[in-house]
Chains A and B, each alone.
Chain A
Amino acid sequence: MSKRIDVKDLNVYYGNFLAVEDVNINIEAKSVTAFIGPSGCGKSTFLRTLNRMHEVLPGARVEGEVLLDGDNLYGPGVDPVTVRTQVGMVFQRPNPFPTMSIRDNVLAGVKLNNKKISKGAADALVEKSLVGANLWNEVKDRLDKPGSGLSGGQQQRLCIARAIAVEPQVILMDEPCSALDPISTLAVEDLINELKDQYTVVIVTHNMQQAARVSDKTAFFNIAGTGKPGKLIEFADTTSIFNNPAQKATEDYVSGRFG
């Protein structure tokens, strides 16, 4: 239940502005890959191209190929809706649907496309997803309460439960801990470690310690200056990125000399 991602010669645009240039990267199945780099270097933008959320913004487009186990996400006739059911996403700020209960939030994706699900199967799925997101014990007695009543960290794990309930192949996380306190961050990081047994996880983070803690491989993105496109500078095992980087820019960044 997880697929690999291969990106070939990807250019990402906002209108005529080239935001990310010429990315080639191979992301292994059942691994955690971290994207690090200074603000504005295009790592979040690039992440959003992996489930076609980039094109939701007006004028945004890409050139190149993103292959999910060999199938091009941007091939002719590919429906972005199908892509997004295979590649789930967790956002920077926890965003459970405020009008829905915790239970309905978990089932939100499953009930899409007019899919019917029996009550028993729904109950089982809610429990499985919440257990999978390490949230079950905290919310099992109040599944009918609104999801917005939870703490920030719980909300974020609820969003992860919502993402894994549709059983995607890949889970993208866009700075999932940047709005959370250290204890909630730890809970989410533990969860990421468990998720990689079943899913391909890609995470964008500003926190280099976090990248070092959770990821198997790390990609460093950088930008030459304002108005220039972001580029993938180096992609390697996390240990070598942090201990023995091949590029000078990577070394400067991870050692805190800039950025």
Chain B
Amino acid sequence: MTTNSLTTSQGAGRAGDKVFSGAAMAAGCLILAVLFGVALFLVVQAIPALTAPPESIQGGHGFFAYIAPIVVGTLIAAVIALVIATPVAIGVALFISHYAPRRLASGLGYVVDLLAAIPSVVYGAWGAAFLAKEISPAYDWLANNLGWIPIFAGPASATGKTILTAGIVLSVMVLPIITSLSREIFLQTPKLHEEAALALGATRWEMIKMAVLPFGRPGIVSAIMLGLGRALGETMAVALVLSSGVLTASLIQSGNQTIAAEIALNFPEASGLKVNTLIAAGLVLFVITLGVNMIARWIITRHKEFSGAN
């Protein structure tokens, strides 16, 4: 009888393999457990608020009448932030990746990354103490000249602590996220495609339109969605900057509120059903953010075959 010489194996390498795969699996499971735990906590704690009689909820018309305006306020602030930040971020990313001399590019990239390191409370303080004051003359101008557009209806807030100011502060905060992700994507554009465009007689900008942006589109979308996630969930900056109130169409009057700021401002003094109401608001924010991330993933996979990697 012969023994198969291939059945004997080196034991030492196998042990390391097992330890590593076990550790990796444990880390993966932990993430799922934490996520599940948070979701379970939110749902369980939110149920009393969702099932309570309408008149016992703040405002007296039930949970959905309470949450709807601040969901809209949250979305308004996030949309303002993205509308301002996206073009600037893509412009800066393109400048760093395709226009700036190499030395300037690395310095500039570093500075942009530094923006992400500033704590959000500092942004909030800056927005409340400096930006709001400086920008209120601009709001007056908007109210006087473009007041016929509902979002610029006067009278403008004298303090400047409006949802538009909050949106501007948020845009500065999401700028580094979108910029650094887009820059990484743009740098990965295949040289082959860039040269194909240049060899046809494309200018630098035409080359970017032809080769860089189409290649980077899924990456840009995911960068924007990550920025959106940050803008939706940002608490401190909004809480400090926004002088909150009821849902208002005008962006330059005080008013409006976001979910995260609503929770942060009210939670310390809340008790009883109010706590459940705020946690239910947190659940709504959780669902919105989850939805945004899933849409982002869907958009990215949908364009996979055009990624240029094939």
List residues of A whose CB falls within 8 A of some B CB: 51, 53, 56, 58, 81-82, 84-85, 88-89, 91, 93, 95-100, 108-109, 112-113, 146, 148, 159, 162-163, 166
Contacts and interface: CB of A to CB of B under 8 A. Distances in A.
A99 B305 CA distance: 9
B13 interface: no
Given A84-B199, A84-B201, A95 B192 contact: yes
A81 B305 CA distance: 31
A93 B206 CA distance: 22
B214 A97 contact: yes
B249 interface: no
Contact of B198 (A56, A98, A148, A163): A56
A84 B197 CA distance: 10
Contact of A166 (B194, B195, B201, B214): B201
B201 A98 contact: no
B15 interface: no
Contacts, number: 77
Scoring B102, B203, B217 by chain A CB atoms within 10 A of each residue's CB, the highest score goes to B203
A88 B199 CA distance: 6
Contacts of B217: 99
B102 A99 contact: no
30 contacts: A56-B195, A81-B201, A81-B203, A84-B198, A88-B199, A88-B200, A89-B195, A91-B196, A91-B199, A95-B192, A95-B195, A97-B197, A97-B211, A98-B193, A98-B214, A98-B215, A98-B306, A98-B308, A98-B310, A99-B215, A108-B210, A109-B201, A112-B201, A112-B206, A146-B306, A148-B308, A148-B310, A162-B196, A163-B200, A166-B200
Contacts of A99: 214-215, 217, 306, 308
A3 B302 CA distance: 46
Contacts of A88: 199-200
Contacts of B211: 97
B310 A113 contact: no
Secondary structure type dominating chain B contacts: helix
Interface residues of B, number: 25
Scoring A89, A112, A162 by chain B CB atoms within 10 A of each residue's CB, the highest score goes to A112
A133 to B, nearest CB: 15
Contacts of B203: 81, 112-113
Scoring B196, B197, B200, B210 by chain A CB atoms within 10 A of each residue's CB, the highest score goes to B200
B293 interface: no
A95 B206 CA distance: 17
A242 to B, nearest CB: 30
Contact of A81 (B194, B196, B202, B310): B202
Contact of A162 (B102, B200, B206): B200
A113 B192 contact: no
B307 interface: yes
